[in-house]
Each structure stands twice: as C-alpha cells, then as structure tokens.
Amino acid sequence: MEYEGHFGADELYIKMKSSDSNISRATVYNTLELLAQCELLSKRNFGENKTRYESNVGKTSHDHLICTNCGAIKEFSEPKIQKIVKEISSEIGFDSTGYSFNIFGKCTNPNCGQNKNAK
C-alpha cells in the first residue's frame, strides 16, 4: 500500500525479494488480486499488455496521461469525466462498476526519450 505510483506485480515481487522477503511470486500475484477485489488497489492497463496496480488509500479517483516515448505517467482528476460516465451509463441502462480513461502521447519533459528505461 506504500508503493508510490503505478507498479506491476513483477516489480513488486522483485522489490520484496531484494528486501530479503521469502514471499513467493504466486502470493504476490494472489494478494494483489485480492486487494484489487477489495478496492484497496486499482488495476490499471496503460496499453502495454501489462496490468499495473496502484494504491487507493488516500487517493481520489483520477485518470492518466501516458507518455508513449519515455513511459512517464501523469495523473489528473476531472469530475466532468465521471459525470459523463454516469450520464452515459444511465442513458443506456448500464450499471457501471468502473471505467478507464487514458490519454496517450508525448510529455513535455525536456529529458523525454533520453532515458527510456527509467520509470
């Protein structure tokens, strides 16, 4: 829950392993799934064929801008989007349990693209 930002199950597993934890990979995966079901974590998919998680604790609902060049992820909160989701759902007669809204593009960071492996 203390992990800042958006992480994959493998990243968390490697991090826990490097801090001398005996946790198994399956336990990490299963626990993340469970926490997501309890809505303590949000599951994200930023179009990379990989599920990422982020803590919901102390966070308001927000959406993301993803730089396809350097992988930077920025967050924003826009109540209008939530309103639209509600409106469309009730118009069509749909009980929405969540939505995902991602904006892809290139960030304005001058270092963008220089360190492709940095997250």
Write out the residues near Zn ion by the rule CB under 5 A: 54, 67, 69-70, 72, 75, 107, 112
Q: Which is nearer to Zn ion, 41 or 54 (CB)?
A: 54
How far is residue 70 from each of residues 15, 38, 66, 106, measured CA to CA in Å? 22, 32, 9, 8
Q: How far is CA 11 from CA 16, 25, 60, 84, 104, in A?
A: 9, 11, 24, 34, 22
Nearer to Zn ion, 75 or 78 (CB): 75
Please tell me the distance from the alpha carbon of residue 56 to that of residue 80, in angstroms, as a whole number.
Answer: 20
DSSP letter at 112?
T
- The least distance separating Zn ion from the CB of residue 44, rounded to whole angstroms, comes to 7
Q: Which is nearer to Zn ion, 28 or 54 (CB)?
A: 54
Tell me which residue has tokens 């749909």: 94
Minimal distance in Å, beta carbon 87 to Zn ion? 23
Query: Shortest Cβ distance from residue 6 to Zn ion (Å)?
Result: 6
Q: How far is the CB of 75 from Zn ion (least distance, A)?
A: 5
- Which residue, 96 or 114, has its beta carbon nearer to Zn ion? 114
